[in-house]
Amino acid sequence: MPDYKAINRIRRSPDAFKALAGHILTAKHWRGRAKQFLADVAHYRHSELTMRQCELLIKLRDSAESVTRIRGFSVSILIESAYLARLDLDDDEDIKRVESLYRRGKGTISGLQAGWFRRICRELDLIEHYI
């Protein structure tokens, strides 16, 4: 999640949040509330969004983003390596997440998954802690 300054900059600029919402809306096939929210923001009449609305917009942006590399490392190779070392993880939920990524068989993860996957890779010493 971006810092407060970045969120505040987007939420106070109608051109920025309308363009972002329009781009996100066309980048992925959305359904239900997410699709309605993005359409509403793309045509928002007020001069700024609330903090919560902007946080949701950024969360949707991150979920639409497809990550293939983490700091220069191939996500598909990291997924395979994490799967092979998954039993060294302390948390059972992390093991399930890695198994789920491996079963899916894709070499990409969403922007929302990148944070916890990077943490798992550090825990397994697949990437250095300073990265």
Give the start-to-end residue ranges of the domains of the chain.
Answer: 4-64, 69-123
Element (H, E) at 25: helix 14-27
Query: What distance in Å separates the CA atoms of residue 81 and residue 125, rounded to the nearest whole number?
Result: 10
Whole-structure pTM value: 0.69
What is the per-residue pLDDT for 30?
83
What is the per-residue pLDDT for 131?
53
What is the per-residue pLDDT for 57?
93
Residues in the chain: 131
Query: What distance in Å separates the CA atoms of residue 36 and residue 32, rounded to the nearest whole number?
Result: 6
Q: What is the distance in angstroms between the CA of the first residue and the CA of the last residue of the chain? A: 17
Band of the pLDDT at 130, cuts 50, 70, 90?
Answer: low
What are 34-51's pLDDT values in tens digits?
899 999 999 999 999 999
What is the per-residue pLDDT for 88?
94
Q: Residues 39-66: what's their mean pLDDT?
A: 91
